[in-house]
Amino acid sequence: MSALVIDRIGSLVTNDPDVGEGPLGLIADASVVIEDGVVVAVGRAGAIADERIDADGGCVLPGFVDSHTHLVFAGDRAAEFSARMAGVPYDGGGIVVTTEATRAATTDTLDRLTLQRVIEARRHGTTTLEIKSGYGLDVANEVRALDVAGRHTTETTFLGAHLVPGEYTGRADDYIDLVCGEMLAATAGRARWIDAFCETGAFDADQCRAVLDAGRAAGLGLRLHGNQLGHGPGVQLAVECGCASVDHCTYLSDADISALAASDTVATFLPAADFSTRQPYPDARRAIDAGVAVAIASNCNPGSSYTTSIPFCIALAVRDMKMTIDEAVQAATLGGARALRRTDVGHLSPGSAGHAIVLDAPSHHHLAYRPGVQLVRHVVA
Amino acid sequence: MSALVIDRIGSLVTNDPDVGEGPLGLIADASVVIEDGVVVAVGRAGAIADERIDADGGCVLPGFVDSHTHLVFAGDRAAEFSARMAGVPYDGGGIVVTTEATRAATTDTLDRLTLQRVIEARRHGTTTLEIKSGYGLDVANEVRALDVAGRHTTETTFLGAHLVPGEYTGRADDYIDLVCGEMLAATAGRARWIDAFCETGAFDADQCRAVLDAGRAAGLGLRLHGNQLGHGPGVQLAVECGCASVDHCTYLSDADISALAASDTVATFLPAADFSTRQPYPDARRAIDAGVAVAIASNCNPGSSYTTSIPFCIALAVRDMKMTIDEAVQAATLGGARALRRTDVGHLSPGSAGHAIVLDAPSHHHLAYRPGVQLVRHVVA
């Protein structure tokens, strides 16, 4: 047994209203005791420990739970980004460029690149992250991507239905048959989740429903990309199928919001994608006020959102999505955990995972108040 | 004599079109040799050096020149920021809160806080920064602020005319007399620049002109805050007075742009302030296309822009001010140098200061393409 105490915490975000104040469960002048990776005590008590982190009056909060990333890829698309910023619109089509680079990369290269990104995310405070496949788009390369992802997280997602690969151009239904049949079978045991990109230019509602149905039959949890580039059927489909999360939600109709509010499906916003594609931002205020459970994630990928920084996403959510700072911080911790149907992470309470961030700042407000500044001093995971 | 070589540079931004390609003077597969803090060679040659930094294929660029900061202050205004994000508009009035906290702080505290911020800025790539007074607002405290600032930079700016302090409420002209008389005299030898806040709620054009005239007579260089919260006389006044820079420029009329384009006054944009006050962003595209010389700076201060991150400002300038990445990077290096009338920084050419940043990225494009990510690996200054 090894024990770690984080003490002299100026402000502790527990996300547990039973142990602290308000929805964030805030405790001032706190300490946290972690034994063998599990929180055993939260509060004001001192403790004897093998290791000690002095928070020096800083804020401590649960590690960020980034429930939406595409970290397994090779190459980058800086030129496409530059062109877009100069006025070329984003249609998602650049995924094929990354697919070519990813297929061409050795497994060692993919492992190294993915590890670099996981480390970078960790430096910015992310302690739990989901990783999708989706740049392989053939059986062998989707299997390989999930193997790479599985070396870094248990939250692996099979996203064969990311885009129709070049060799299936004009034959999207045939590709969906492959995804639901041979490809899904080949990935058995490698993914916890299945996902699909429900968008004009990617897959329609029937195609996505087929993918989700096949995934459910294979024992996978369900997630969906939807309503990124326009009003579409994604949100309704996700609710109908009982997805844990529907991601993007940049465009939400009143009916979408009502459906989400009455469901167990989390609306996961990806504001860094809206930033990097110069899309409008989702109206999170409206969704939250209607009772929708929300999360914030990075969507880290080389095309539409090449950031691993959840603090950056929090700052955007506050500035441009009209979330309060408390809501944004909770959406990036407890919200992400809900989107992954995890109860062990996203909060700091006795029994929870000992995943904590120590900030160079007195309060979680500084995550939005000090945009772009690397405030994460220590990460415990 | 000590020599440092930075080699294995994948992409070198020199900002010198004579030595490399395009306006950024880009050189691929480059090295830089710095002797006693001065660049002595730029290009592909190898060199014998006492110290070596291996850029490992990363991008190297001139250190950022942040020409507008208010780093000398105590306290923070996180609560005001939170309220603003919840809908309370920004009017600049919170400066008095910081003035009270700054006056109450010991000099040791102000020194320590300022040093922490300078170090933080350095970690994000800033190697030259301007620091203003302006939270003292009485003779002794303005002198003290400039003394603190002068321990960290040669680019010190006397901003007694930041806001009318409480003890002069309703007597702005009397306060301007103090600024131009006793206060300016007391700060002699402590500031390189004089500045004023030309804005409704702060000082009008006549008051600011008096400050600039007095500063010029005292041998100071001139700068001005203008056109932040609305169309105002600031830009025209700055051009008329020959200011090195007019800062904010969020609102620019056609006449303002014409005046700037025909002048030696740099338009310094502060996009992080527009971000953190939820203001509209300036139309930099229009200004640049008209031939205006532009800079980007952080405006780091506890009220309207509490960031030290120039990469964050670059990302905003590209996304929200429609600058190209090249323009934004140049505005944060060479542009900042021009705004401070410095020729030794902001570029990497034989004879320039040896201030360089090594990125964990292959190109300067990643500063905008990877928003919120701490890409600065080494800073040489």
Q: For residue range B117-135, what is the model confidence (pLDDT) as tens digits?
A: 999 999 999 999 999 999 9
Return d(Cα A40, Cα B210) in angstroms, integer: 64
Q: Select from B82, B289, B369, B376 the residue whose CB has the most chain A CBs within 10 Å, as the one to mutate to test that interface.
A: B369
Provide the pLDDT for residue A360. Answer: 97
Instruction: Tell if the CB–CB gap between A371 and B319 is shorter than 8 Å.
Output: no
Instruction: Evaluate if pTM is beyond 0.90.
Output: yes
- Per-residue pLDDT for A148 more than 70? yes
Q: Name the DSSP class of A118.
A: H
How many CA atoms does the CB half-sphere of B37 hold within 13 Å? 4
- Summarised one tens digit per residue, pLDDT across range B269-296 is 999 999 999 999 999 999 999 999 999 9
Q: How far A119 CA sits from the closest chain B CA (Å)?
A: 12
Q: Are strands A3-13 and A26-35 parallel, antiparallel or unpaired?
A: antiparallel
Measured CA to CA, the distance from residue A325 to residue A364 in angstroms comes to: 8
Rounded to whole angstroms, how far apart are CA atoms B53 and A141? 37
pLDDT for A191: 98
What is the predicted pLDDT for the residue at B94? 85
Least confident piece of the model among B87-91, B100-104, B210-214: B87-91
Q: Are B73 and B302 in contact (CB under 8 A)?
A: yes
Q: Does the pLDDT of residue A264 top 70, yes or no?
A: yes
What pLDDT is attached to residue B368?
A: 98
Quote the pLDDT of residue A1.
65
Tens digit of each residue's pLDDT (9 = 90 or more) over A331-368 = 999 999 999 999 999 999 999 999 999 999 999 999 99
Is the pLDDT at A93 greater than 90, yes or no?
Answer: no
User: What local confidence, expressed as pLDDT, does residue B91 receive?
Assistant: 73
Per-residue pLDDT at A47 exceeds 70:
no
Q: In this complex, do B309 and A373 lie within 8 Å of one another by their Cβ atoms?
A: yes
Name the pairing type of β-strands B266-269 and B245-248: parallel
How many Cβ atoms sit within 10 Å of the Cβ of residue A309?
Answer: 27
Partners of B313 on chain A (C-beta within 8 Å) are 372
Average pLDDT over residues A140-168: 97
Top pLDDT among B46 and B118 is at B118
Q: Point out the residue among B79, B82, B374 whose CB comes nearest to the CB of A374.
A: B374
CB burial readout A150-161, b (16+ within 10 A) else e:
bebbebbbbbbb
Residue B106: pLDDT over 70: yes
Query: What residues contact residue A132 under an 8 Å CB cut-off, 6+ apart?
Result: A68, A69, A70, A72, A149, A156, A157, A158, A159, A162, A195
Predicted confidence at residue A46, as pLDDT, reads 62
What is the pLDDT, as a whole number, of residue B48?
66
At B327-339, the pLDDT tens digits run 999 999 999 999 9
Q: Is the pLDDT of residue B14 over 90?
A: yes
- Any long-range contacts for B218-222 (C-beta under 8 Å, 24+ apart)? B218/B184, B218/B185, B218/B188, B218/B194, B220/B158, B220/B191, B220/B192, B220/B193, B220/B194, B221/B192, B221/B193, B221/B194, B221/B341, B222/B193, B222/B194, B222/B195
| pLDDT for position B1 | 65
Could you give the percent of chain B with pLDDT greater than 90? Answer: 93
pLDDT attached to residue A287: 98
User: A276 and B319 in contact by Cβ < 8 A?
Assistant: yes
- In chain B, ranges of CATH 3.20.20.140 domains: 64-339
The pLDDT value given to residue B50: 81
- Maximum separation of any 2 CA atoms in chain A, in Å: 65
- Report the C-alpha gap between A76 and B151 in whole angstroms: 42
Best CA proximity match to A93, nearest among A163, A141, A171: A163
Residue B34 has phi, psi (to 5 degrees) of -120, 125
Percent of chain A's residues with pLDDT above 70:
98
Q: Cite the residue boundaries of each domain of chain B with CATH code 2.30.40.10.
A: 3-63+346-380
The verdict on a CB contact (< 8 Å) between A372 and B312 is: yes
Q: Strands B376-380 and B356-359, how do they pair?
A: antiparallel
Q: Which of B80, B370, B374, B375 to mutate to test the interface with A (most CBs of A within 10 A)?
A: B370
Cβ-contact B107, B144 below 8 angstroms? yes
Paired strand residues for B38: B35, B353
**Residue range B53-76: average pLDDT?**
97
Which of B85, B120, B374 has its CB closest to that of A324?
B85
Is B78 in Cβ contact with A306 (below 8 Å)?
no
pLDDT (0 to 100) of residue A48 = 66
Least confident of A16-20, A93-97, A336-340: A93-97
Distance CA A134, CA A73 (A): 9
Instruction: With beta carbons less than 8 A apart as the criterion, state whether A246 and A238 touch.
Output: yes
Angle at A8 (CA atoms; ends A4, A12), nearest 5 degrees: 85
**In this complex, is the C-beta atom of B98 within 8 Å of any C-beta atom belonging to chain A?**
no
**Distances B81 to A46, A78, B77, B92, B102 between C-alpha atoms, Å:** 33, 33, 6, 12, 18
CA dist list (Å): A265 to A242, A270, B102: 7, 16, 48
Is residue B165 pLDDT above 90, yes or no?
yes
Asked: is B3-63+346-380 a CATH 3.30.420.40 domain? The reply is no
CB A345 within 8 A of CB A65: yes
Residue range B296-316, pLDDT digits in tens: 999 999 999 999 999 999 999
pLDDT for position A90:
73
Q: How far is CA A77 from CA A93, A144, A189, B363, B366, in A?
A: 12, 22, 31, 12, 10
The overall average pLDDT reported for chain A is 96
H or E segment to which residue A38 belongs: strand A38-43
Helix or strand (DSSP H, E) at A313: helix A310-320
Element (H, E) at A121: helix A107-123
Q: What pLDDT is stored for residue B244 in this prediction?
A: 98
Q: Cβ contact (<8 Å) for B371 and A78?
A: no
Asked: is A64-339 a CATH 3.20.20.140 domain? The reply is yes
The amino acid sitting at B334 is L
Tokens found for residue B351: 């004879």
State the pLDDT confidence band at B47, using cuts at 50, 70 and 90. low
pLDDT exceeds cutoff 90 at B90: no
Q: Is the pLDDT of residue A45 over 70?
A: no
Instruction: Give the mutation candidate from A85, A119, A301, A379 for the B interface (greatest B CB count, under 10 A).
Output: A85
Does A374 contact B at CB distance below 8 Å? yes
Predicted confidence band of residue B234 (pLDDT cuts 50, 70, 90):
very high
Query: Residue for token digits 């504001």?
Result: A271
In this prediction, residue A33 carries a pLDDT of 93
Between helices B95-104 and B139-150, what is the axis angle to 10°? 80
